[in-house]
């Protein structure tokens, strides 16, 4: 399962590769990630700790991103 965040200048649409019918629309990146976590837990029965690992990893990568 891959969760994807498609960003525009003002919004973020979150989708799941296994659920073509599901999407979440947010204006805030943190809320978009929270939507993804809730989807993993509620739809794919993923334990919360595992669902939040992706959220933590995304946050870690964004803190260490190099701006060129």
Q: What is the pLDDT of residues 17-31, one digit of tens each?
A: 999 999 999 999 889
List Cα–Cα distances, 46 to 1, 49, 61, in angstroms: 11, 8, 22
Does the residue 18 lie in any domain?
Answer: yes
Does the residue 68 lie in any domain?
Answer: no
In the prediction, which pLDDT does 68 show? 56
In the predicted structure, residue 42 carries a pLDDT above the cut 70: yes
**Which range marks the domain in which residue 12 is found?**
3-63
Does the residue 22 lie in any domain?
Answer: yes
Task: Please check whether residue 7 is in contact with residue 18, taking contact to mean a CB–CB distance below 8 angstroms.
Answer: no
Task: Please check whether residue 16 is in contact with residue 2, taking contact to mean a CB–CB distance below 8 angstroms.
Answer: yes
Does the residue 38 lie in any domain?
Answer: yes
Q: How many domains does the chain have?
A: 1
Does the residue 15 lie in any domain?
Answer: yes
List Cα–Cα distances, 14 to 4, 26, 39, 58, 61, in angstroms: 6, 8, 10, 14, 18
Closest CA to 30 of 14, 16, 44: 14
């Amino acid at each position: 399962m891959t969760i994807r965040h498609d960003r525009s200048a003002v919004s973020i649409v979150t989708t799941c590769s296994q659920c073509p019918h599901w999407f979440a629309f947010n204006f805030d990146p943190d809320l978009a990630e929270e939507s993804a976590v809730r989807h993993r837990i509620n739809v794919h029965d993923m334990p919360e700790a595992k669902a939040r690992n992706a959220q933590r990893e995304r946050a870690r990568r964004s803190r260490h991103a190099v701006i060129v």
